[in-house]
Amino acid sequence: MYPKIRIKEFKPLNLEGGYLIDGFPSAGFSSAIATESMVHTSKFEL
C-alpha cells in the first residue's frame, strides 16, 4: 500500500521548460546542502 500524497497549488505556474532540483540526501548530506544553497541564493519563482 502506497501512502497518499496531496499537492496543494497556491497559484498556477507554467512549468513548461522548467527544471526540477532534486536534493534528497543519499550517502551523505552534500546533495541536500547544495540544493538548500541553490534554493536560498537563486531568484527562481518557487
Model confidence pLDDT, tens digit, residues 20-36: 777 777 777 888 888 88
Model confidence pLDDT, tens digit, residues 8-23: 888 888 888 887 777 7
Distance CA 28, CA 38 (A): 17
Residue with grid cell 540526501, as numbered in its chain: 25
